[in-house]
Structure formats: structure tokens, C-alpha cells
Amino acid sequence: MGHPVRHSRSPKLHGHWLRVLGIAGEYTLADVRPDDVAAFIRALGANGYAGGNVTVPHKVAALGAVDRVEPEAAAIGALNTLWFEDGQLVGGNTDVYGFLASLDQDAPGWDARHGRAVVLGAGGAARAIVYGLLRRGFSVTIVNRTVEKAEALAGYFGRGTMAAGWSALPALLPGCDLLINTTSLGMTGSPPLPIALDGLPRDATVFDAVYVPLETPLLAAARARGNRAVDGLGMLLHQGVPGFERWFGVRPAVTPELRALIEADLIS
């Protein structure tokens, strides 16, 4: 469920898992207008659905349409996955899991020490990522063009979070173990991030939540100077795992074959 939703790669992702696991199921897109989303969600079971995903702009409104919200989704203030448990419609947020699982798989040891992370951006994607980083013991500085939004997010999460504006970045990079972009800058059609990586330690990891293109200017610059760089496709693939398992009863795998399939779809 989204509005618009045509761009979603989720049917390809879940369609692949249904096929390789031999499950007779289907994952379809529903373009639902904001006024209709609560009614659509409440009718999911009656319409034969095992659950679903909720994307922009419904992730917050959906909280009010389910019987129960999982603690993680409540803490983030947004949900992205719905499923049934004992006849109740439950809402959860698998973006945190997707983010952490992607780094675990693509940058093993990234959280070996409870280091310092700099998160660029203070929107919806930043919320799940900051929450995940705090859970893994990082202290997090949220850097945003509109510093008030960074301050609001840091105030929301409290202990372990700080806020800053873009101009603070050069001073923050030397103490940074993990640099993360959650803004849309660097995405195809948007300008690149206006930052230089000078001062960032060579053993720091750089993660970009953007996945179109896979190699953003930020990741290319990070790789060129020897930093480990992780693109946003892994997060997209991994966030689908817990939902699929709840709907169909089998835990699917994020494999190189799946990644290649979705990569080809991003290019075409």
C-alpha cells in the first residue's frame, strides 16, 4: 500500500522468494489514497490478504488502523509491515532489521566497537536508522540542513544522540566510525551530497540508504579513498525478510541471485 506505489520493487522481491520456495502466493501493489488507507487496512483480512507492507505516505497513519503495534514500530513512530496473529492485525517496522542485517552481511564487524555514527538527514529513513544504531550501542550525531529537525529527532531519542547543522560536518568526520546518508541527495535526479570526506578515518564505514544509483557519488568517493562502502539495496532486500516469514511461514534468504535480479530491475 502506497501512494504512488508503481515504483515499488517489492513485488519482484517477494515474487522471487515465492517462486524459489514453491509457495502458491501472490504479492500485489495497491495504490491507496490517504483518505482510504484506514478502511483498506481494516479490510485486509476480509479481502483474503495474509498481511502487507505500508509505504510512503501511509507509514504513520497506519499506526491507528491496526489492533496492535509492535514496540519497535511504536518507538520509531512508523510502521511498514502488517500481519495477523491470533486473529489480530499487528503492525511492525522491519526497516531497523533491514538496515542492521544489511550492514551485518555487507560490512561484517562494523559494530565491533560501540563507536560514533554521523547520520545525514532527519526524515523518515533517519528515524529507523538512528534507532537501530542506538540499539547497537553507537552514539549518533544527526546532521541536517534544517537543524531544528535534527534537534527534534535527537530530542525524541534522547540519550546517545546529538544534533548539528551541515557546517559542523568537517569537525565531526575525524571522530566518525560510521557515516550514513539518509537524505535523497545523490539519488538519480537529485544533486550529489555537498560534502568532502577529508578527515574521515580510513577504517570508517560509509552507508548510503540511496539505491538508485547503487554507486552514489558519496560511495564512489568513499571507496576511492579506501573506506568500506555499503549501498542501500541490501537494506531494501533484508527489510522484506521478516514480513515474508510472517505471511508465508518460511524465512527467505537474501542471496547474490536475488540481489542480481533486483539490480537488473533498477537498471532497466
Strands (E), 156-195: 161-164, 178-181
How many residues of this chain bind ligand ATR (CB under 6 A)?
Answer: 14
Written as nine digits, the cell of 147 is 537543524
- Residue from 28, 88, 105, 146 touching ligand ATR (CB under 6 A): that is 146
CB of residue 15 vs ligand ATR: minimum separation in angstroms? 24
Q: How far is the CB of 57 from ligand ATR (least distance, A)?
A: 9
Residue 183, amino acid = T
Tell me phi and psi for residue 183, to 5 degrees. -85, 170
State yes or no: residue 12 binds ligand ATR (CB under 6 A).
no
Residues 6+ apart with CB under 8 A from 165: 143, 144, 145, 147, 150
CA pair distance 123, 57, nearest whole angstrom:
12
Give residue number: closest CB to ligand ATR. Answer: 123
Q: Which of 104, 168, 184, 259 binds ligand ATR (CB under 6 A)?
A: 184
Cell of 121: 538527514
CB 248 within 8 A of CB 23: yes
- Which of 14, 16, 58, 59 is the catalytic position? 59
Q: Compute the least distance from the CB of residue 49 to ligand ATR, in Å.
A: 25
Question: Which residues in 108-127 contact ligand ATR (CB under 6 A)?
Answer: 121-126
Residues 6 or more apart whose CB falls under 8 angstroms from that of 8 comprise 2, 29, 55
Which one of residues 149, 162, 217, 261 is an interface residue with ligand ATR (CB under 6 A)? 149
The nearest distance, CB 169 to ligand ATR, in angstroms, is: 11
Length of the chain: 268
Least Å distance, CB 218 to ligand ATR, is 13
Under the binding rule (CB under 6 A), the answer on residue 161 touching ligand ATR is: no
Q: Name the grid cell of 14.
A: 517477494
Q: Is 140 in the site for ligand ATR (CB under 6 A)?
A: no
59 is catalytic: yes
Coil, helix or strand at residue 152: helix
Query: Which residues participate in catalysis according to the annotation?
Result: 59
In the complex, the residues that contact ligand ATR under the rule CB under 6 A are 121-126, 144-146, 149, 182-185
